[in-house]
Chains A and B, each alone.
Chain A
Amino acid sequence: MTTIGVAAPRQQAGPRGWLMEDSLAGMARRRALLGYVFLLPTFLGILVFSAGPVIVSLGLSFFAWNVFDPPEFLALDNYLRFFSDGRILIGFSNTAKMVSLAVIIEMVLAFALALGVQRTTRAALRYFFRSAFFLPLLTSAATISIVMAYMFHSQFGVINYYLGLLGVPRIPWLEQAQWALLSVVLVYVWHRLGFTFIVFSGGLGNLPKEVLEAADVDGATGWRRLWYIVLPMLSPSILFAAVTAIISGLQIFDEPFVMVKGGPGDATRTVVMLIYESAFKNIELGYAAAIAAMLFLVIMLVTAIQFRISKALVFYQ
């Protein structure tokens, strides 16, 4: 019996040889490299448009920079100022009030509408309602805010006009602190509702029919069916909707800025408005970056808490 000699793999010097090595390992390296090449455009996109600015912004938060003069290193001064700045507490407090109100209204309303549309028997009507509820999301928040400021005008707005026909006295929608906050929240919810509605519609459409039929057979109807069957099975969609709604709510800017400029007084001044004002009105870009970094931390913390709670409450099929 003759033995067949195995030829030694051809070796080239340097990285090229390492990559082109005629072996299983070399082939694996080449495949890995191909994978990285495909990932490169996405990676560059994230680096240039997301990660890069985040890193630069974080770095900037340790400096004083007014655009005109070179940045001056301040170490932690901007963060120390953050904790002693009275406006910050107002900004976070307003934002928290808006988020709480907006998320509750948005979730309840979107769920009710999704449930209603799902029960609509005619397909054409279902498509119509889905489109109608989703459409506001496609328009710009600034445009909506301008139009809504007209509609909410206490003297000449259509909302007070129709309320007046019902005998309701004129409401100072944009002129009194508590009403202004509510007006901003209502407009924000109206604009964003379509997104949560679509999430819930999708979730409801994907509920397993056999489970719902079994519930029917067992006599679970009405609230019991909704509470014990539908909601638990919809919990992943609810978690997703809640997380995105809170993250988005914590960054609310357009509506309070365009409708009431953060007023009356500071009644609707949000954290992002403070970032904008610090950066581009007071020209304190370093301090603005520090507020942004703290907001980022808050969003991370709130999201982490939500995921932690969801472990006990969310039901994955």
Chain B
Amino acid sequence: MHSPASQSLPRRRFLQIALGAAGLSVAAACSRAAPTTSPAATAGANAGAAAPASGSTQGSLRIALFGSREDADRRAALIPPFNKLFPNVKVEYTPIQGTDWEEFFSKVLTMKAANNAPDITFVATEGTQLFAGQGLALPLDDYIKRDQKDMAQYFSDVHPSLVEAMMYEGSLYELPIDFNAPNMYFNLSVLQAAGLEYPPADWTKDTFYDYAKKTAKKDSSGQTQVFGYQWVNRLWGSWSPWLFVNGSNLLSEERAPGGDWLWQAFYKDDKAATGRGGGWRWNAPKANDAANVEALDFMVQMLKDGVSAPIELGGGGQLQGFFSGAKLAMTPAGGFWAGGLHAAGMAPDTFDVQLFPKWKSQRHQFGTAGYVIMKDARDKDLAWEYLKYLSGVEAMTIELKGNNSTPTRRSFMTAERYAETGPKHWQVFYDTLEKNPDTAPIPAPPESNPMTTIFTKYSGLAMTQEMTPKDALDSMQKDLEALWAKRKKA
């Protein structure tokens, strides 16, 4: 009997065609994955180009933003003023959420891998060297030199340490928009209950410890009800400020040469710019340095005393809840907390901020953020025009509304700005830079992402007392050395 099913030739043919199509699509995917031009070939491709004529310029810009849809919607207010200058340019913000910068960068890299990179990306210190070092971002040097007159007002208003933090090997990659230095926040009601007053700027680590012990409250069963101190397990503002005030760092530091063009052009008469170079280089790891072991020992000691709460593993949301709920007296945080605590319902006079306490030094750390133009940006000249606009007074006023971060322009630091949110001693935020000239960015080399994983892993092990601080930092050092060995090999 003749069965139609036995006519198998069409099925075979169909499968052959289908597999052929699959093979072609795989080949196409692979070919897309490989960049067609080297980073060097595109670097500064638009250097020296004339500024685009605003009225007739057409195009679109896609901007990746670390934040929620609400953050993107808030920034939508930035677009109409820009469209007055460039009416035919469409600007779109793409919000990307994550618990920390590392997650945001991971997602931007995923977009890059999918050949769907944005034109402009908001990047903090944690990722500046990753984007610059890996050739993802475009150096801004030629644009800045071209538009030197336009940029003079911006640089005159921004502290040179913030600008230097955005440089990599002599070139500037971002115009810093906001920054945050971990200062010490106080819940004033908890301080008051312990009979303590707002401390002076030159307070010490011992005074801090005394404050922490006095503010911690235990119930009749010995369980702590209010903690003196707590921090989030991450790179910025975790226990790493203690490394800085103890005269150390996670990595050895060096200033890269170069950058004279910028310092000469914009900071010639600024003493704070003296001795600055072409950005930071973070070299050999020194995690198990004696000063670092001492600092981590101090953290563990506070935990054992019941003075410090167990570290938070998330993005800081829990910690903010405990602080605003008067369950916590002190925590390291930056200017962004002013807006956060206000949103959490804290009145301006219920919390305050002071410089980090002095130990062997009072050297502070900070992280700053701005926008990079991606090497793959469709219209780099247009992207630069948008960056220039974002660094202006009008755009920064819109962008930094609500004190969700600290403006990099010192002219923005006014009593009026902090009247609604607090804190009373808002001057501390910029004093961290102005009065402490050795303040420096957190160590964030191009390997910042895996380095942070190693840092938080062993910090966590020490704080959960699964390892002693010395053992944890020895292991951290070993892992960091392995990571650095890979860097050398590459």
A interface vs B, CB < 8 Å?
Answer: 24-25, 27-29, 31-33, 36, 43, 47-48, 51-52, 55-56, 59, 65-71, 146, 149-150, 153-156, 164, 170, 172, 174-177, 258-266, 277, 280-283, 285
Contacts and interface: CB of A to CB of B under 8 A. Distances in A.
B112 A67 contact: yes
A294 to B, nearest CB: 21
Nearest to B303: A175
B35 A28 contact: no
29 contacts: A27-B4, A28-B7, A32-B4, A32-B10, A32-B11, A47-B18, A47-B22, A52-B25, A52-B26, A55-B22, A56-B26, A56-B30, A67-B112, A68-B136, A69-B35, A70-B33, A155-B224, A261-B313, A262-B457, A263-B313, A263-B457, A263-B460, A263-B461, A264-B460, A265-B460, A280-B107, A280-B110, A282-B449, A283-B109
B470 to A, nearest CB: 16
Given A146-B314, A155-B310, A264 B466 contact: yes
Interface in B5-49: 5, 7, 10-11, 14, 18, 21-22, 25-26, 29-30, 33-35, 39
A140 B30 CA distance: 33
Given A280-B106, A280-B110, A36 B313 contact: no
Interface in B68-115: 99, 102, 106-107, 109-110, 112-113
Nearest to B475: A265
Given A24-B2, A71-B33, A261-B313, A52 B22 contact: yes
Nearest to B490: A66
B59 interface: no
A203 B5 CA distance: 36
A265 B135 CA distance: 32
In order of increasing CB-CB distance, the 3 nearest A-B pairs are A28-B4, A280-B106, A70-B34
A85 B109 CA distance: 24
A31 to B, nearest CB: 7
B220 interface: no
A67 B113 contact: yes
Given A24-B2, A155-B224, A176 B109 contact: no
Nearest to A48: B25
B58 interface: no
Q: Counting chain B CB atoms within 10 Å of each CB, which of A27, A146, A265 scores highest?
A: A265
Contact of A156 (B4, B30, B322, B456): B322
B134 interface: yes
Contact of A264 (B11, B26, B107, B461): B461
Contacts of B18: 43, 47
Contacts of B223: 164, 170
B453 interface: yes
B310 A175 contact: yes
Nearest to B3: A28
Given A32-B10, A51-B22, A155-B224, A175 B109 contact: no
A43 B14 CA distance: 11
Contacts, number: 129
Given A52-B25, A55-B26, A177 B109 contact: no
Contacts of B2: 24-25
A77 B30 CA distance: 20
Contacts of A258: 99, 314
A56 B450 contact: no
B386 interface: no
B227 A265 contact: no
B22 A281 contact: no
A263 B456 contact: yes
B318 interface: yes
A57 to B, nearest CB: 10
Nearest to B112: A67
B257 to A, nearest CB: 24
Contacts of B309: 155
Contacts of B449: 280-283
Contact of B464 (A31, A67, A264): A264
B34 A71 contact: yes
B458 interface: yes
Contact of A36 (B10, B99, B227, B314): B10
A65 B33 contact: yes
A71 B310 contact: no
B232 to A, nearest CB: 11
Given A47-B25, A71-B34, 11 more contacts: A51-B22, A67-B109, A68-B35, A149-B314, A172-B310, A263-B464, A264-B464, A265-B464, A280-B107, A280-B109, A280-B110
Nearest to B306: A155
B327 interface: yes
A123 B462 CA distance: 54
Interface in B184-231: 223-224, 227
Given A32-B10, A154-B310, A172-B464, A282 B106 contact: no
Contacts of B22: 47, 51-52, 55
A69 B33 CA distance: 9
B313 A260 contact: yes
Nearest to A47: B22
Given A33-B10, A59-B26, A156-B322, A265 B466 contact: yes
